[in-house]
Amino acid sequence: MALTVDVVVERPDFRFAIATSFAPGITCVLGPSGAGKSTLLGAISGLLRPTRGRVALGDEVWVDTARGLHVAIEARHAAYLFQSLALFPHLSALHNVAYAVPRTVPRAERHARAQALLAKLGVGHLAHRRPRTYSGGEAQRVALARALAMTPRVMLLDEPFSALDRERKRPLIALVRALATELAIPTIAVTHSLGEARALADRVIRMDHGQVVADGAPAELLARAGHDDDLVDAAG
Amino acid sequence: MDWDPLLLSLEAALIATLVAGVVGVTLGALLARPRMPGRHLLDALIAAPMVMPPTVLGYYVLVTVGRKSAIGGLYRDLFGSDLTFTFHAVVLAASIGALPMIAKAARTAFEGVDPTLPRAARTLGAGRVRAFFTVTLPLAAPGVIGGLMLGFARGLGDFGVTLMVAGDIPGETQSAPLAIYDHVQAKREHAAAMSSLVLTIGAVVILYAVNRLTRDRHREDEARWH
């Protein structure tokens, strides 16, 4: 099911506009700071209300400013992996992940699902530990397990690997690719890194000053972008 | 030593902490929202009792809840007597003292919560209310509890407003600070010293506990991996 985004966000010092569709698979959104990458994720997740436009997943309309429609954030099932990961520091890994399982599921089953997801992502041993004790890679895996627990219909990844070094990044990129294939949902990953985009993406969108400046297959786009100074591939 | 004023103060301060706690924590949560309109004015109004002379504040309260006021009339209709010069007036005075302490501390505590966390809760399927009670409030809890304890201590020690709206009626409205004042006036030095000592120990214990709570919170913040 494709995600259609046709929105404009206007602020006194910034204008963002995009009209595109995201098919199942990974789309990497590249661009310098202030390009509008996070604005895109905000408009899709509902954390940001666009000035005007429409967002829809298949036939299900999430935003239609012409009709004053704005589906609540929690009703969209758009998993958002924040750059900081936003793991709840007062909850164990098990409770962090169980938090995302719908409340209609009985408590024991919520916990069983959470434990199974943690095990699947290789961090079952962290179930009863709180986030401050995790390494960077472990925290990423717990955050991914939490995102999966909500049975997402769209995945939004905001610079998901920026805090990791090259060695820890590689297996996680492979994991995200495997999960995206398994889920077969639109997955949008925002990144500064050409290396990450190369390893992850089925499609690459390049943004600058709130506009799409290039859109296409990774090989073609990244070959061109590789010569740009404003895209920094620090760790990829 | 006469324990009645102390017990009356404790009871009034406990009820006041509950009342001012509900109002103050709600106000603190609202004030912590950066987009809340008029929040600086509201903040100033809530904090005003901290810097106003107690007699001025007491006068305003007296005018607001006195027998000729709308609130005073409503109270008389409900309870069959005036609000002023009753135990409820002692609770009211203690609540007014406690409220700014609790609201200020709650605001600071809520502002200290990483705003990404309740947003993450929303994206994971939680509504506003669930996100607040399961993420924001637990993370702000040490600061909120510290504010409640300071509010309790402030309510326990109120003098000026209590005297203005509740008077100094032994056994009915005479709180510990008023009893100490009476002891001094009547040259009952031992009774004044003992009551003062008990209140002082209570205040120091509460401040120590608040410091421990907030220091532990800082330590936890520093230990976070991100």
- The whole-angstrom distance between A220's CA and the closest CA on chain B is 34
In chain B (226 residues long), the average pLDDT of successive 10-residue segments reads 86 94 95 87 90 89 88 89 90 93 95 95 96 96 92 90 90 90 91 90 86 66 45
**CB distance B150 to B131 below 8 Å:** no
For chain A, the structural domain boundaries read 1-77+184-236
Give the nearest partner residue to B124 out of A100, A136, A163, using CB atoms: A100
Q: Give pLDDT tens digits for B125-143.
A: 999 999 999 999 999 999 9
Q: Residue A225: pLDDT band by 50, 70, 90 thresholds? A: low
For residue A125, give the H/E element and its range: none
Number of domains in chain B: 1
| Token reading at B202 | 């209570």
For residue A88, give the H/E element and its range: none
The mean of the pLDDT values for chain A is: 90
> Cα(B212)–Cα(B201) distance, rounded to whole angstroms?
16
**CB distance B16 to B91 below 8 Å:** yes
Reported as half-sphere exposure (CB side, CA atoms, 13 A), residue B68 has a value of 2
Q: Give pLDDT tens digits for B63-93.
A: 998 888 889 889 988 888 888 899 999 999 9
CATH among 3.40.50.300, 1.20.1250.20, 2.40.170.20, 3.30.530.20 for A1-77+184-236 = 3.40.50.300
> Cα(B160)–Cα(A72) distance, rounded to whole angstroms?
49
Q: Give pLDDT tens digits for A98-145.
A: 999 999 999 999 999 999 999 999 999 999 999 999 998 899 999 999
- Reduced to 3 states (helix: H, G, I; strand: E, B; else coil), residue A19 is strand
Closest CA to B164 of B61, B73, B16: B61
**CB distance B221 to A89 below 8 Å:** no
Chain A residues inside the 8 Å CB shell of B117: 86, 88-89
| Token reading at B119 | 């947003």
Per-residue pLDDT, B216: 59
Strands of chain A, DSSP E? 3-11, 14-22, 25-30, 52-57, 60-64, 69-70, 78-81, 154-158, 186-191, 203-208, 211-216
Range of the domain at B105: 4-223
Closest CA to B75 of B56, B57, B88: B88
> Cα(B220)–Cα(B207) distance, rounded to whole angstroms?
20
Per-residue pLDDT, B226: 38
Nearest CA in chain B to A137: B225
Q: Residues of A near B (CB-CB distance < 8 A)?
A: 45-47, 72-74, 76-80, 82, 84-86, 88-90, 99-100, 102-103, 131-136, 139, 146, 149-150, 163
State percent of chain B over pLDDT 70: 94
Give the nearest partner residue to A74 out of B126, B138, B220, using CB atoms: B126
* Residue B214's CATH number: 1.10.3720.10
Per-residue pLDDT, A235: 37
> Cα(A189)–Cα(A187) distance, rounded to whole angstroms?
7
Residue to mutate among A76, A83, A92, A99, with most B CBs inside 10 A, is A99
